[in-house]
């Protein structure tokens, strides 16, 4: 599929996840075949006021491309100025966050609050499209709440503003991340616009990936939480489409190798202290499905150094071996 002038080859993208899908995790997902990634959302105001943390979040590695930078905010002029500054980081796409449900973001009229005004959504896209020479996309939800299900209207508005694609997460803002996800809204958006539609919500395995495509006719899917602690999901999806093969999850030894690689990359980027603090939740996700997972997760929450993580992974492999699991 194409996002404007950008050709995206593959079946599954990594969805943006603030505080989780950092450069290290994105890189590991790309290694397993994620065909497109989006960075953590960045405040448009933070960028134009020169906030150091916002600028750090803009950095994209050459190895994780094609990649989008995602901006949040509510003022078309500020968003456009931020997009111009973000171009210094050479994104392949500029994406606009119109779906974040967090009270702090919505309270500032950004994220999913934008969906309350399709006209403002259109103006934001238009303002950015005018200023940058890469495709501009938007990520929306089903609607703001049960009484305001307007993804179709918002998708048409961003298309009218010049968006090159739209990602639809099939939940309202009110739902946050709670079930059920509604894929029918993705199909309705697909029928109502001519730009590519990226379907999102609750893809956790090859079967749900295939079902999201089949049930919605979407052009690409974006996987978020399903890839946490399981970045090989992207290679499983690729193998299914490429050769019709169902790949099993990798053995424990391989999983621990991937976790160590991810954290090593994070240490290079952020230093050992911060990387290890953030690695605890990732390590816990990598324990999913293992024997005594709860106890392993509790131990993961105390890791402080890379050496401790490596020793922990070694012990995990041994303990699963002893318990009769394939190492
Ligand atoms: C921890 C976390 C952080 C997220 N951060 C962002 C974000 O920065 N921008 C965004 O558009 N969506 C964000 N999302 C939403 C995801 O991109 C995605 O729409 C949602 O998780 C549903 O997809 P999934 O069921 O595959 O996880 C976040 C989700 C999670 C769980």
- What class has domain 252-322? mainly alpha
What confidence score (pLDDT) does residue 6 get? Answer: 98
Q: Is the dihedral of CA 143, 149, 150, 152 positive or negative?
A: positive
Annotated domain spans of the chain: 2-243, 252-322
Is 169 near ligand 1, meaning CB less than 6 Å away? yes
Atom of ligand 1 nearest to the CA of 141: 19
Q: Catalytic residues, which ones? A: 100
Q: Between β-strands 2-3 and 6-7, what pairing exists: parallel, antiparallel or unpaired?
A: antiparallel
Neighbours of 117 (CB within 10 A): 15
**What burial class does residue 153 get, using C-beta atoms within 10 Å of its C-beta: 0-12 exposed, 13-18 middle, 19+ buried?**
middle
Angle at 69 between CA 91 and CA 200, to 5 degrees: 120
Q: Whose alpha carbon is nearest atom 5 of ligand 1?
A: 17
Q: Compute the distance between CA of residue 27 and CA of residue 61 in angstroms, rounded to an integer.
A: 8
- List strand residue ranges (DSSP E) for 129-196, in order: 136-143, 165-172
Check if 209 has its Cβ closer than 6 Å to any atom of ligand 1.
no
SS3 90: coil
pTM score over 0.95 = yes
Check pocket membership of 101 for ligand 1, CB cut-off 6 A.
Answer: no
Beta bridge partners, 200, equal: 169, 222
The reply to whether domains 2-243 and 252-322 share a CATH topology is no
The secondary structure of residue 115, as a DSSP letter, is: G
Instruction: Tell me the pLDDT tens digit for each residue of 164-212.
Output: 999 999 999 999 999 999 999 999 999 999 999 999 999 999 999 999 9
CA of 325 to the centre of ligand 1 (A): 32
Going by CA atoms, what residue is nearest to atom 11 of ligand 1? 97
Mutate to test the pocket of ligand 1, among 13, 17, 178 (most ligand atoms within 8 A of CB): 17
Confirm or reject: Cβ of 97 under 6 Å from ligand 1. yes
- According to the model, what pLDDT value does residue 300 have? 95
Reduced to 3 DSSP states, what percent helix, strand and coil does the chain have, rounded to the nearest 5? 50, 15, 35
Please give the Cα distance from 278 to 239 (Å, whole number).
Answer: 30
Is the beta carbon of 231 within 6 A of some atom in ligand 1?
no
Cα(300)–Cα(99) distance, rounded to whole angstroms? 31
Per-residue model confidence (pLDDT) at position 294: 94
Please give the DSSP secondary-structure letter assigned to residue 301: T
Q: What SS3 class is residue 71? A: strand
Class of domain 2-243: alpha beta
| Residues contacting 282, CB < 8 A, separation 6+ | 20, 25, 228, 229, 259, 262, 263
Rg (CA), the chain: 20
Residue 327 has a pLDDT of 53
Which residues does the chain have with pLDDT short of 50? none
Model pLDDT, residue 37: 98
Q: Around Cβ 146, how many Cβ atoms within 10 Å?
A: 10
Q: Looking only at Cα atoms, what is the longest distance across the chain?
A: 61
pLDDT score of 322: 77
User: Looking at ligand 1, which atom is closest to the CA of residue 169?
Assistant: 19
In angstroms, the CA 324 to CA 327 distance is 8
Cα–ligand 1 centroid distance for 205 (angstroms)? 17
């Amino acid at each position: 599929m194409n996002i404007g002038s950008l050709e995206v080859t593959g079946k599954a993208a990594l969805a943006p996840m603030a505080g989780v899908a950092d450069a290290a995790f994105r890189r590991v997902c790309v290694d397993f075949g994620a065909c497109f990634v989006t960075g953590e959302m960045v405040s448009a105001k933070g960028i134009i006021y020169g906030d150091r943390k916002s600028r750090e979040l803009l950095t994209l590695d050459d190895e994780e491309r094609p990649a989008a930078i995602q901006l949040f905010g509510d003022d078309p002029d500020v968003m456009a100025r931020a997009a111009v500054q973000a171009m210094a980081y050479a994104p392949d796409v500029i994406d606009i966050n119109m779906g974040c449900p967090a009270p702090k973001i919505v309270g500032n009229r950004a994220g999913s609050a934008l969906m309350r005004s399709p006209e403002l959504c259109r103006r934001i896209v238009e303002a950015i499209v005018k200023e940058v020479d890469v495709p501009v996309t938007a990520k929306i939800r089903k609607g703001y709440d049960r009484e305001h299900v307007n993804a179709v209207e918002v998708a048409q508005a961003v298309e009218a503003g010049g968006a090159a694609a739209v990602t639809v997460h099939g939940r309202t803002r009110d739902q946050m991340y709670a079930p059920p996800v509604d894929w029918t809204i993705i199909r309705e958006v697909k029928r109502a616009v001519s730009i590519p539609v990226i379907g999102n919500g609750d893809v956790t395995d090859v079967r749900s990936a295939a079902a999201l495509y089949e049930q919605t006719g979407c052009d690409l899917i974006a996987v978020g939480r399903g890839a946490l602690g399981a970045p090989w999901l992207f290679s499983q999806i690729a193998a299914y489409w490429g050769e019709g093969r169902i790949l099993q999850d990798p053995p424990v030894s391989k999983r621990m190798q991937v976790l160590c690689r991810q954290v090593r990359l994070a240490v290079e980027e952020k230093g050992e202290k911060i990387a290890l603090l953030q690695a605890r939740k990732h390590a816990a996700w990598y324990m999913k499905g293992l024997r005594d997972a709860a106890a392993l997760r509790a131990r993961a929450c105390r890791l402080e150094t890379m050496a401790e993580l490596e020793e922990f992974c070694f012990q995990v492999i041994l303990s699963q071996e002893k318990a009769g699991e394939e190492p």
